[in-house]
Amino acid sequence: MKQAALTITNGLLVTREGAPVSGAIRCDGDRIVAIGADVVPQEGDRVEDARGKLIAPGLVDLGVFAIDKPALHFGGITRAALMPDQNPPLDRSSTVRYAAQSGKPDLWVHPLAAATRGLEGSDIAEIALMRDAGAKAVATGRHWIADSGTMLRLLRYCAMLGLTVIAHAEDSGLTGSAVATASEMATRLGLPSAPVEAEALAVARDIALAEMAGAKLHFRQITTRGALDLIRAAQKRGVAVSAGVTPAHFMLSDTALADFRTFCRFSPPLRREDDRKAVIEAIGDGTISIIASGHDPRGPEDKRLPFADAEPGMAGAETLLPLTMNLVRDGVIDMAAAFRLLATNPAGLLGVNAGALEVGLQADIAIIDADRPWIVSSAKMAAAAGNTPFDGQGVQGRVLALWKGGLKVG
Amino acid sequence: MTSANSSSRSRYPAGSLAFPHRGLLGLAGLAPHEILFLLDEAEQWVELNRQPTKRVDHLRGLTIINAFYENSTRTLLSFEIAGKRLGADVVNMSVGQSSVKKGETLIDTAMTLNAMRADAIVIRHASSGAVRLIAEKVDCPVLNAGDGQHEHPTQGLLDALTIKRAKGEFVGLKVVICGDILHSRVARSNILALTALGADVRVCAPPALMPADIERMRVTPYHDFDAALKDADVVMMLRLQNERMTGQFIPSPREYRHLYGLSVERLTKAAGDAIVMHPGPMNRGVEIDSNVADLPGRSLITTQVEMGVAMRMACLEVLTRKARGLPGWAEPREDKGSWA
């Protein structure tokens, strides 16, 4: 039985450009049918009063490692691109198809096909079969494809299939078993480390190959000034290369590693302060076009270990929105840009009909109080595990209500 | 900068304020006067160890567990002798015969040791930060006997004690540490101790074995060993830690010796009364020639071993003072730490 249409009134509508505008949004079925200041509820509509808060698109999280619905919904995420680093990896159409169905109806999972079989970096996987099973892009996973020939063939093949390649940018010859950035902090702690140039080298090679292949290339996490400069220059030349980042790399530097805090063990690792500032600059000037959570809940068995033995990753879904709101409050970006980074751009990369408040798009909508303060607490998180480096930190910005395809979540 | 030429106890705050730490996880958090306090405390044990009867009852009834997750000969033996000479019951936990081999986690082991009511736990582990992780889970003092490439604080202290007894003064002393700095926890602890006490520390290694930003630790990096040796008062050699290397860091041991091996001829570039040190185990003929290692009056390598026992006695005795109810030794501040 079809649900009545939904009208959310009395809100501030997030637009693609400029400041949010007062108005309402009406959805019928799973689509947005009307939006603007003059929109009013029709008879029989379900009516929600936004009470002057933001009406925004549901977030599209490009690259999570676990389908952790409570955390994703808490964070206002209605669509999540699932990284292929699963057990088993998403390198077959059957696993991709299963993953694509795993979140419905209130969370849409967009699997990212493993670029190579077993994510081992050598044999290209059955990407066309996985695309037809629901994969929305191709990812190299947590690893760099070291063989340039393999990477070129992959990029050419994905260009033919119309899929973006999402790459991890760390030259494995330099990183080896590194768990930190080569710096004073890593030296003092005696942690295996690699120079920041490992990222720039990987980026330089992959940009060159993407240009040769005419492929669309997205670096999921770019965290260093050198790599960002290369991407900025390539974008100016018209190369179809984009970059993303997670909040950890614009909020924290490697000084957070003091005391061997494994909740700060990431891949790529936290960088030096200058690199953190470079990431913020790149978000401001548009070089970085996507902010994702990298959500990877890890329990004590993965984290309560010596630093180098701990698994990388953080439970980031719940803090994605408020930490991005920091950038708005600091004047780095405006509200429209924040939601382009969190929803519109990732939706565009995945080629899904969502990520913005526009007629005809999917009714994935969040009501957000951008100023609401709350304290991040590892112990109280909705996530499957509380591995956040922001435990105890005060943040602002919280989702008050969420709809996926017009259906209220929770 | 603090001078080490006076050993007057009055320089130190009273009671636990003299050493306000629950354990010894590293030298990074220690103030110069706290390091000097431990060095001075060790002097009495140097004297005791030279007596025919080398035993006191200070730690009678206390249990010390040596949990070594990495192979060790001298450090384990040194800690065992130190504990026994203080009258403690010392138990060595060999990982090869423990549940660690059955997959028990580090935390489980820590909680097990804690439940056994140890009064001090000495830990060596292959991972940087592992000792801190255990220290957060146990109620007794924890002493770091070496964690990965991070720190080996008692080695840093015993080396400082050796230097102090040989040279009397740290301020302005030119110390060269040469070898595999990248993988060396001994180098890090020595750098922290010696720079805190006012020494001019030079570190020398090929580029592949020199850690990033090492100069931020207030040392001068060198690649040229002969230049580093100029007028040096102390020459501390380190071995190549092949077990921690992945990939090729040097072309060959022969080539390494050519550039960084300490020979009698090379030693002439240092000060005429320069002392030679090595934490052991030595690779004779690689980083140090035998005729240098055994040089009478100049090589203090065996003295370092002797100071090691005294220094570890001092650390165990000081860190168990609260448990033993010594007047003035209240609960020290917690060394901040968190696994998360």
B216 is catalytic: no
Distance CA(A328)–CA(A20), nearest Å, equals 13
pLDDT at B94: 73
DSSP class per residue in B219-259: -EEES-HHHHHTT-SEEEE----GGG--S-SSS-HHHHHHH
- Within 8 A by CB and 6+ apart from B256, the residues are B206, B240, B250, B286, B287
A188 and B CB contact within 8 Å: yes
Contact criterion met (CB below 8 Å) for B306 and B160: no
pLDDT at B71: 85
Nearest CA in chain B to A299: B340
Give me the pLDDT at residue B109, please. 85
Catalytic residue among B74, B230, B266, B322: B74
Return the pLDDT at A283.
98
What is the spatial distance between Cα B143 and Cα A118, in angstroms, rounded to a whole number? Answer: 43
Q: Indicate whether B4 pLDDT > 70.
A: no
Confidence of residue B322 (pLDDT cuts 50, 70, 90): very high
Please say if B324 is a catalytic residue. no
Identify which of B145, B232, B130 has the alpha carbon closest to the alpha carbon of residue B189.
Answer: B145
Is B53 annotated in the active site? no
Q: Which of residues 243-262 of B touch A (CB under 8 A)?
A: 246-247
B74 in catalytic set: yes
Q: What is the mean pLDDT of residues B181-197?
A: 98
DSSP per residue over B282-324, as a string?
--BTTTB-HHHHT-TTTB-HHHHHHHHHHHHHHHHHHHTTTTT
Determine the residue of chain B that is closest to A301 in CA distance. B105
Our CA-based measurement puts residue B36 at a distance from the nearest CA of chain A, in whole angstroms, of 22
Other Cβ atoms closer than 10 A to B314: 27
Which pair of structure tokens corresponds to residue B126? 């292959």
SS3 A108: strand
Please say if the pLDDT value at position B1 is more than 50. no
Instruction: Kindly report the length of chain B.
Output: 340
- Contact between chains at A192 and B149 (C-beta distance less than 8 A): yes
Task: Please say if the pLDDT value at position B3 is more than 50.
Answer: no
B337 band by pLDDT with thresholds 50, 70 and 90: very low
pLDDT in tens, A299-355: 998 999 999 999 999 999 999 999 999 999 999 999 999 999 999 999 999 999 999
The lowest-confidence range among A159-173, B84-98, B197-211, B277-291 is B84-98
* Facing residue for A176 by CB, picked from B128, B216, B246: B246
Which of A 124-183 lie inside 8 A of B, CB atoms? 176-177, 182-183
* Residue B261 pLDDT level (bands cut at 50, 70, 90): very high
Least CB-CB distance to B129: which of A176, A303, A306? A306
All residue ranges of chain A with pLDDT < 70 are: 1
Contact at CB, A304 and B107, closer than 8 angstroms: yes
- Say yes or no: A377 contacts chain B, CB-CB below 8 A: no
Q: How many CB atoms lie within 10 A of CB B55?
A: 11
Q: Does pLDDT of B340 surpass 70?
A: no
Which pLDDT tens digit goes with each residue over B139-168? 999 999 999 999 999 999 999 999 999 999
Assess whether pLDDT exceeds 90 at residue B218.
yes
- The one-letter amino acid code at B15 reads G
Active-site residue among B22, B124, B164, B167? Answer: B124
Cβ-based contacts of B105 with chain A (< 8 Å): 301, 304-305
Question: What tens digit of pLDDT does each residue of B110-130 get?
Answer: 899 999 999 999 999 999 999
pLDDT value at B338 more than 60: no
Which residues of B are documented as binding site for L-aspartate?
102, 185, 239
Asked, as a colleague might, if the bond just before A268 is cis with ω within 30 of 0, I would say: yes
Please report, in range form, the residues annotated as the binding site of B: 74-75, 102, 124, 152, 155, 185, 239, 280-281
A202/B261 Cα distance (integer angstroms): 37
Annotated catalytic residue B322: no
Going from the C-alpha of B190 to that of each of A8, A227, B159, B185, B288, the distances in angstroms are 66, 36, 7, 8, 19
More confident residue, B249 or B196: B196
Could you tell me the two tokens for A354? 């969502």
**How many CB atoms lie under 10 A from the CB of residue A310?**
24
Identify the pLDDT of residue B175.
98
Does B340 sit within 8 Å of A262, measured CB to CB? yes
Which pLDDT belongs to residue B11? 82
Predicted confidence (pLDDT) at residue B303 exceeds the cutoff of 70: yes
Instruction: For helices B185-196 and B153-167, give the axis angle rounded to 10 degrees.
Output: 50
Q: What is the rounded average pLDDT of the residues B192-213?
A: 97
**pLDDT per residue as tens digits for the range A260-285:** 999 999 999 999 999 999 999 999 99
What's residue B102's pLDDT?
Answer: 55
Q: What percent of chain B has pLDDT over 90?
A: 79
